[in-house]
Amino acid sequence: MINRKKTETAVMVPVNEDAAKLIPWNLLYDGQKVFRVFTDQPTNRYLKELMKLSDINKRISFHCGRHTFATLCKTRGINYDIIARYLGHTDKKTTQIYAKYETELLLSEMEKWEKINDYSSSFSALSFLL
């Protein structure tokens, strides 16, 4: 359970198996957060240094992780209401701004049209509607 400071709401964030493997459960004590998080400024400095070391020339910030998380949730079919709860949003319109569709998803969805090989059957299926 996490208490969000900005919205003053409690949020339960389940931990999947892969994430659970990374957590040193035996070293945690009651009420301790899993990860020690610094304020935004030091975290952003560390991220910029990692980007530089990796030869990645993009702007990055700690906040980008929230956008990435929301986008990945949406591409996996998670409902906006659930994503909003994970992010601590009280309005799902805010979440919809975060959860931008990735190019791959847009392309794969459009490819569904290419899977229709028999156009005549598609037109005959539409003809009953006319």
The span from the CA of 73 to the CA of 78, in Å, is 5
Low-confidence ranges of the chain (pLDDT < 50): none
CA distances from 12 to 7, 41, 75, 80, 117 (A): 14, 26, 21, 16, 46
Residue 52 CA from chain centroid, whole number: 24
User: Can you give the pLDDT at residue 88?
Assistant: 83
Rounded to two decimals, what is the model's pTM? 0.61
- Tokens standing for residue 41: 């400024």
Q: Quick: pLDDT tens for 29-52.
A: 666 666 666 777 888 998 899 999
Report the residue count for the chain. 130
87, β-bridge pairs? none
User: Can you give the pLDDT at residue 130?
Assistant: 53
Nearest Cα to Cα of residue 34 among 43, 44, 24, 42: 24
CA angle 51, 52, 56 (to 5 degrees): 55
The secondary structure element, H or E, covering residue 93 is helix 92-98
